[in-house]
C-alpha cells in the first residue's frame, strides 16, 4: 500500500471516523455507544446523502417486527432467497456477508429501537422475487414512524429532504396511485392529508421516509455528542505501512489531518454523478448523469482514493436502475407504478414489447440496456391510452391532469391514433399496431403469454387490484393515445469496494486493509445484480455500517492503534 501523504503530525485524533452522513450515521451511533470518540465528515452542506432522498425503507428477512407479529420467516429462508435470486456473484455477496446481513441486521434494528427509533412494518409489500425459493409475499420491509424535524433545532436546515410536501409513509405511495379506483385508497389519501395538515397546525415539521430516517439518526447522534463536520470534503487517506491511520479533509479552506485510532468507515456513496467513471466502468451502460436521481455529491472521489490503495472492486458496471422520464425542465420522474397499471405497455423503436413492464425497477433498467444491444430501446416508450391517463397519476400529477407544458415541450406525446403517436415518437407504426393488437388479446384473456406480466406478487402490488382478472393487464384501446420516453435512470451506482463480512475493505489478494471499512453505495452490493425487496440498498448501508462499528470499536474488535 502506497502512502497518500508524507508523515506529518495530525491536528486531531479520534477513535472512529465516518466519511459520509447517510447510512453511516448508524455506524457512528454504534461506535459512540461502544465508548468510542467518533467524528462524522460530510462534504456537502446537507446531511443525509442519497438515503435522505430515498423511501427510507429497510429490507430485512425475519426482522424483529415480523417476529412480534408472528409473521412466518427465518434466517434459513432469507439465505435461500439470496441463493436463488442473487446466485454466486463473488465475494461481494459471500455466504458470510449474507448471513451477517440477516443476523446482525436483526441486532441492529433492536439497537436502534433502544436508541429511540420506532419502526413500523410496510404491510403489503412483497419481495420483488417472492416466487423464488425463500421469497415472501408478506412484507419484510420496515420504516420509521414520522419525526418532528423541529426537534433537530438548527440542524433541520442542514437535513437533506426528498418527497417534500406530504407526511406520507412509503407503503402509502402505492395506495395513492389508486386514489380514483378504490375507497380504501381514497381513505389513505385522506389520512395522509390529515397527518400533514395536523403537523402544520401544530407547528411541526413531520418527516417520513428517507428524511424521517436520517432525521431520527441525526437526532440520536446529536444527543450522543457526535460532532458532524459539514462542507468538509475528503482529500486523502493517512497511512502507515499497510494500514489506514486517518484521513485528510478540507475544512474552512485548509487541509486538516485527522488520526483514527480504531478505523475509518467509508459511507460516501458511489459515482452516479461522475460521467467519466460511468463511461470507464460501464461502457455498455454509461447512461447520462442527467438521468440519475442520486444526490449531487455522488461523484466517486473517495472510491477512487481507495482504489489507489489497492482495494478490490466489483460490479462497477451496475446501478440501482429505475425507468425514468426527463421533464421539460430537466427534472427526473421515476416510474414505479405507471408501467404496471392496466392500459399501458413499453415498446422499442420497432414498436415491439421486450420485457414485462411490471418488472422490479432494477431489472427493468437492465432489460432496457440488454435489449438496446440488438434494437434501440434507450430510450424506449411508455404507451398509454386515455383510460390509463384518467385513472392513474403520472409522476406527481394527479389522474386526468396533463400540464400544458408537457405537451408543448414534447415531453408527453398525444395522438388520436396509434400510427399518429408512432410518427411522433419515431416508432414503427405497423409494429406498434400489431403489438397493441396482440397485447389487447392478452388483456382480454388476463394472461400475458409473452412476458407474464401480472403473475408475480410484486407485479400485482404495483398494479390495480380493482382490475380483473389481472391487475396489470388492460387493453390499450381508448383514444387519444399518449407516450413518454423512458430512460434507464438510477438512484445510485451499486458496485464498488469489495468487503468481507466485517465490512473491512479487501485488497486484490483478498486480505483486509487494516483500519478501512465501507458500507452503502461505495461498496459492491451484497445483493449482487438484483434488488431483493423494498429497502435492499438502505438496509445494506445501515447494517454494514453497524457491523463496521462493532468490528472496529466493539469489545471483540481489533486492538487500538497508537496515534501516529
**DSSP H helix total and E strand total for the chain:** 16, 21
Per-residue pLDDT of the chain (564 residues; tens, 9 = 90+): 654 444 567 899 999 999 999 999 999 999 999 999 999 999 999 999 999 999 999 999 999 999 999 999 999 999 999 999 999 999 999 999 999 999 999 999 999 999 999 999 998 789 999 999 999 998 899 999 999 999 999 999 999 887 667 899 988 888 999 999 999 999 999 999 999 999 999 999 999 999 999 999 999 999 999 999 999 999 999 999 889 999 999 999 999 999 999 999 999 999 999 999 999 999 888 788 999 999 999 999 999 999 999 999 999 999 999 999 999 999 999 999 999 999 999 999 999 999 999 999 999 999 999 999 999 999 999 999 999 999 999 998 999 999 999 999 999 999 999 999 999 999 999 999 999 999 999 999 999 999 999 999 999 999 999 999 999 999 999 999 999 999 999 999 999 999 999 999 999 999 999 999 999 999 999 999 999 999 999 999 999 999 999 999 988 776 554 443
Separation CA 514–CA 144 (nearest Å): 34
pTM: 0.95
Q: Please report the pLDDT score of residue 559 as a whole number.
A: 58
Q: Please report the pLDDT score of residue 286 as a whole number.
A: 73
Q: Please report the pLDDT score of residue 166 as a whole number.
A: 86
| C-beta separation of 105 from 140 below 8 A | no
Beta strands 319-326 and 504-506 are: unpaired
Separation CA 439–CA 450 (nearest Å): 9
Separation CA 219–CA 47 (nearest Å): 12
Cis before residue 378, ω within 30 degrees of 0? no
Q: Please report the pLDDT score of residue 313 as a whole number.
A: 98
Q: Please report the pLDDT score of residue 563 as a whole number.
A: 41
Q: What are phi and psi of 274, to 5 degrees?
A: -110, 105
In 3D space, the residue among 364, 342, 294 whose CA is nearest the CA of residue 520 turns out to be 294
In 3D space, the residue among 539, 529, 541 whose CA is nearest the CA of residue 88 turns out to be 529
DSSP state of 182: -
Q: Please report the pLDDT score of residue 444 as a whole number.
A: 96
Instruction: Determine the distance from the C-alpha atom of residue 281 to the mean position of all C-alpha atoms in its chain, rounded to a whole number.
Output: 20
Q: How many Cα neighbours within 13 Å face the side chain of 149?
A: 24
Burial class of residue 478 (count of CB atoms within 10 Å of its CB; 0-12, 13-18, 19+): middle
In 3D space, the residue among 55, 148, 46 whose CA is nearest the CA of residue 541 turns out to be 55
Give me the domains of the chain, ranges plus CATH numbers: 1-161+206-318+494-556 (3.50.50.60), 323-490 (3.90.700.10)
Q: Give the DSSP H or E segment for 100.
A: helix 95-114
Amino acid at each position: 500500500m502506497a502512502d497518500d501523504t508524507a508523515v506529518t503530525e495530525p491536528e486531531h485524533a479520534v477513535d472512529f471516523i465516518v466519511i459520509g452522513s447517510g447510512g453511516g450515521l448508524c455506524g457512528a451511533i454504534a461506535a459512540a455507544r461502544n465508548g468510542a470518540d467518533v467524528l462524522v465528515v460530510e462534504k456537502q452542506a446537507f446531511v443525509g446523502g442519497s438515503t435522505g432522498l430515498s423511501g427510507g425503507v429497510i429490507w430485512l428477512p425475519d426482522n424483529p417486527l415480523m417476529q412480534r407479529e408472528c409473521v412466518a420467516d427465518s434466517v434459513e429462508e432469507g439465505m435461500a432467497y439470496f441463493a436463488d435470486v442473487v446466485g454466486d456473484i463473488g465475494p461481494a455477496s459471500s455466504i458470510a456477508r449474507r448471513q451477517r446481513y440477516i443476523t446482525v441486521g436483526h441486532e441492529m434494528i433492536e439497537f436502534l429501537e433502544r436508541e429511540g427509533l420506532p419502526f413500523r412494518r410496510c404491510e403489503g409489500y412483497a419481495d420483488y422475487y417472492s416466487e423464488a425459493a425463500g421469497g415472501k409475499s408478506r412484507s419484510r420491509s420496515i420504516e420509521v414512524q414520522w419525526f418532528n424535524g423541529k426537534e433537530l433545532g438548527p440542524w433541520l436546515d442542514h437535513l437533506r429532504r426528498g418527497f417534500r410536501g406530504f407526511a406520507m409513509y412509503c407503503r402509502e405511495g402505492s395506495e395513492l396511485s389508486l386514489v380514483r379506483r378504490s375507497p380504501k385508497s381514497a381513505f389513505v389519501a385522506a389520512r395522509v392529508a390529515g397527518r400533514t395538515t395536523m403537523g402544520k397546525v401544530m407547528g411541526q415539521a413531520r418527516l417520513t421516509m428517507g428524511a424521517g430516517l436520517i432525521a431520527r439518526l441525526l437526532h440520536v447522534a446529536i444527543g450522543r455528542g457526535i460532532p458532524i463536520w459539514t462542507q468538509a470534503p475528503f482529500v486523502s487517506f493517512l497511512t502507515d505501512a499497510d494500514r489506514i491511520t486517518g484521513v485528510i479533509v478540507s475544512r474552512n479552506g485548509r487541509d486538516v489531518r485527522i488520526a483514527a485510532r480504531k478505523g475509518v468507515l467509508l459511507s460516501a456513496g458511489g459515482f452516479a454523478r461522475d460521467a467519466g467513471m460511468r463511461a470507464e466502468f460501464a461502457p455498455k451502460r454509461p447512461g447520462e448523469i442527467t438521468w440519475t436521481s442520486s444526490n449531487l455529491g455522488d461523484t466517486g472521489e473517495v472510491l477512487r482514493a481507495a482504489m489507489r490503495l489497492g482495494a478490490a472492486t466489483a460490479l462497477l458496471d451496475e446501478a440501482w436502475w429505475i425507468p425514468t422520464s426527463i421533464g421539460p425542465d430537466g427534472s427526473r420522474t421515476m416510474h414505479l407504478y405507471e408501467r404496471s397499471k392496466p392500459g399501458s405497455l413499453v415498446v422499442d423503436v420497432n414498436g415491439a414489447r421486450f420485457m414485462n413492464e411490471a418488472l422490479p425497477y432494477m431489472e427493468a433498467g437492465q432489460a432496457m440496456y440488454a435489449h438496446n444491444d440488438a434494437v434501440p430501446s434507450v430510450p424506449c416508450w411508455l404507451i398509454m391510452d386515455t383510460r390509463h391517463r384518467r385513472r392513474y397519476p403520472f409522476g406527481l400529477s394527479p389522474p386526468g391532469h396533463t400540464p400544458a407544458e408537457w405537451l408543448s415541450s414534447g415531453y408527453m406525446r398525444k395522438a388520436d391514433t396509434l400510427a399518429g403517436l408512432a410518427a411522433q415518437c419515431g416508432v414503427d407504426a405497423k409494429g406498434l399496431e400489431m403489438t397493441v393488437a396482440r397485447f389487447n388479446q392478452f388483456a382480454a384473456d388476463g394472461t400475458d403469454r409473452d412476458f407474464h406480466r401480472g403473475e408475480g406478487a410484486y407485479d400485482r402490488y404495483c398494479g390495480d387490484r380493482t382490475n380483473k382478472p389481472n391487475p396489470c393487464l388492460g387493453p390499450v384501446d381508448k383514444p387519444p393515445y399518449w407516450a413518454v420516453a423512458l430512460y434507464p435512470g438510477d438512484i445510485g451506482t451499486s458496485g464498488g469496494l469489495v468487503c468481507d463480512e466485517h465490512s473491512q475493505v479487501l485488497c486484490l489478494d483478498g486480505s483486509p486493509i487494516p483500519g478501512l471499512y465501507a458500507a452503502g453505495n461505495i461498496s459492491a452490493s451484497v445483493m449482487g445484480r438484483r434488488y431483493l425487496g423494498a429497502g435492499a440498498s438502505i438496509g445494506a448501508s445501515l447494517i454494514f455500517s453497524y457491523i463496521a462499528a462493532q468490528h472496529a470499536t466493539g469489545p471483540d474488535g481489533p486492538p487500538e492503534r497508537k496515534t501516529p
